[in-house]
Structure 1
C-alpha cells in the first residue's frame, strides 16, 4: 500500500464506496482536506521564515556547512522519538531502500544545498521568480506514473492567477520582469533546486504507507546527511570552519528544527492528505509570507502593489485548492 492508496482512502472516507452511506462521504473528506491544507500552510510559513532568518548565515557559514548542520540538527530533533520505530521497521526499510535513497537525495542532500549555492550569486528576487514555478512543476511531475493527479480547468486557472500574483509581486509591479532574467550560473543552480523540490514532492505520493511518517523523516534525514558528509569534509578543508556564536547557532537551530523537522513532517503529511498539486497551490503563498515576516521583523515597506499581489495570490490559491469540490467526492 502506498500514499496513492491512502489518498483514495481520504477521498472515500477510509472505506470502499459500497460500504459507506452516501451522506457521510463529504463530512468525512472535508476535514481531511482542510487539515492537509493547514499542514501545507504550516510548512510554507516555516520555510518562509528560513529565508528571513538565514540571511545572517550568508557571510559567516559556507553553504555546504550550513546545510550539513541544518540536517544534523533536524536528525537530532527527530531521532529520539523515532529510533525504536526505525529499528522495528528495518526489514521494511531495506525493501524500499532505493525509494528512500532517491527521496533523501532530492529533498535533503540536493535541494537546500543548491538554494544556498545559488544565493551566493543570484539576487533574491530572481530566486523568488524561479521558486514561483515550483508548484507548476509539482503538478507536471504528479501527472507521471501510476495514479497521476488530474489538473482540471479550475485548478489550472487558480495556478495561473497565483503565478501572476507572485511574478508581479517579485517584479515590483511588473509581471513581465520574468522575461528579463539574467540567467547566470546561480540561476542554473536555482533551476536545479526547483526541479529537485518538485520531484521530491511528487515522489512522496508513492511512499509506501507502511513506512510511518516520522520513520520516513528520520531515515531520509540520516541518509541525506550521510550523502552531504563528503562535501562537508571538502568544504572544511578548502574553506575552513566557522565560529559558533549567537549569530550562527540561533539561525541554524531555526532552520534545523522548524524549517526542516517540523516543515518536512507537515509538508509530507499534507501531500498524503491532499496530493502534491493541491499542497503546491498553498506553496504559492510563500512570497506573501516572506513579505509579511520581513515587514514585521525587518521593518520592510509594504505598499499597494504588495497588497494587490497578495489578493491575487490568495484568490488563486483558494481557486486551486478547491476544497468544496474535493470534499464532495
Structure 2
C-alpha cells in the first residue's frame, strides 16, 4: 500500500472519529434545541469560522468557475442542508446508537456515488465488501432496537444516507482540484446568506439553554460540519472515494461507543462482536485494488 493511499486512509479514519460523535451530540442537543436551529445554526457557525479562515489564509475565491460553483452548490444541498435535517428530525425518535447502525449503510452508497458521480471504478470485490458490511450493520439494527420494524426515523436516516453519499461523491470530486479544507470552507461560505438568517430566525430566543447543550452544538458546528471535512475531503482525494469510504463502517461503532457516555445507551457484548466483524470487513476491503479514473488526455 503506497504512502499516499495510507495517508488518505488515516485522514479518513480521523474524520470518522469526529463524524461518529454527530448523532450522539445531535440527540443530546435536541433535549433543549429544536432540529431546525441545530441544522441551520451549526452550518452558520461553521460558515463564519470558514470565512474567517479563508480571509486569514488569503485564499482565492473559486466562484468564477461555473463547474466549481455547481459542484459546491450540489454538495452543499446534500451535506449542509439535506443530511443534517434528516438526522436531526430522525434522532428525535430513534436512539443515537440505533441511528448509527443505519448510517452503516453509508460505505455501500458512497461506493456507488464514487462510480456515478466521480468516475471511479471500485470493482466487484469492493462492492462485495461494502455489501457484507452493510449486511452486518443491517442485521445489528434489526437485532438491537429495530425489532419493532422500520419506522419514520429509519426512513429519514436512509434518505440521509443517500444524500450524504451523493454529497461525499461530489465533494470528493472537488477535492481533486481544490484543497480538502477549501472544499468544505467554500461550501459553507456559499451557504452563509441562507444559513445565517435561518439560524437567527430559529434561534431559541428567551429559552434557557444549558452550557453542556451549547457545547454539543459547538461540536456539531466546528467538528461535524467543518474540521471533520478537512480530513475527510483530503482523505477522499488521496485514497479514492470508494476505498476511503469503507472507513465509514467503523463510524457506526464510534457512534455506539459515544452514545453510552453522552446519551446513556450502554453497548453490550453483541455490539462488540459486530464491531470486530466490521473491522475485519474494512481490513479486507482495503486490500482490494481500486482503479482510479484516468486523467484527461492520459494514455
Q: TM-score, normalized by length of structure 2?
A: 0.83
Partner of 1:165: 136
Q: 1:95-106 alignment to 2 at 5 Å?
A: 96-106=68-78
**Cα gap change, 1:91 to 1:296, in 2 (>3 Å):** closer
- Matched residues in 2 for 1:52 and 1:168: separation? 21
**Cα gap change, 1:193 to 1:93, in 2 (>3 Å):** same
- Matched residues in 1 for 2:192 and 2:158: separation? 22
Find out whether 1:183 has 2:151 as its counterpart: yes
SS of aligned partner of 2:240: helix
Per-residue deviation, 1:309: 0.7
Alignment length (residue pairs): 291
Match of 2:182 among 212, 215, 221: 215
CA RMSD of aligned residues (A): 3.0
> Could you report, residue by residue, the CA deviation over 1:255-287 in whole angstroms, capped at 9, with x for unpaired residues?
112222211111111110112211221101112
SS of aligned partner of 2:38: helix
Find out whether 1:113 has 2:85 as its counterpart: yes
Q: Contact 1:30 / 1:326 at 8 angstroms: preserved in 2?
A: no
- Matched residues in 2 for 1:191 and 1:173: separation? 17
**Cα gap change, 1:46 to 1:66, in 2 (>3 Å):** same
Q: Contact 1:45 / 1:289 at 8 angstroms: preserved in 2?
A: yes
- Matched residues in 1 for 2:104 and 2:282: separation? 13
> Could you report, residue by residue, the CA deviation over 1:8-48 in whole angstroms, capped at 9, with x for unpaired residues?
xxxxxxxxxxxxxxxxxxxxx61111111111111111111
Per-residue deviation, 1:299: 6.7
**Cα gap change, 1:279 to 1:128, in 2 (>3 Å):** same
Partner of 2:20: 48
- Matched residues in 1 for 2:26 and 2:119: separation? 38
SS of aligned partner of 2:158: helix
Per-residue deviation, 1:319: 0.8
Find out whether 1:156 has 2:130 as its counterpart: no
Per-residue deviation, 1:240: 5.9
Per-residue deviation, 1:229: 4.8
- Matched residues in 2 for 1:59 and 1:86: separation? 39
**Cα gap change, 1:114 to 1:31, in 2 (>3 Å):** same
Q: Contact 2:133 / 2:249 at 8 angstroms: preserved in 1?
A: yes
From the two aligned structures, give the one with the greater helix fraction.
Answer: 1
Per-residue deviation, 1:67: 1.8
Q: TM-score, normalized by length of structure 1?
A: 0.76
Match of 1:252 among 199, 214, 217: 217
Structure 1: tracts of 5 or more residues without a match: 1-28
> Could you report, residue by residue, the CA deviation over 1:85-116 in whole angstroms, capped at 9, with x for unpaired residues?
66633454566222211111111122111210
**Cα gap change, 1:116 to 1:300, in 2 (>3 Å):** closer
Match of 1:202 among 146, 169, 174: 169
Q: 1:119-130 alignment to 2 at 5 Å?
A: 119-124=91-96, 127-130=99-102
- Matched residues in 2 for 1:96 and 1:167: separation? 36
Find out whether 1:71 has 2:43 as its counterpart: yes
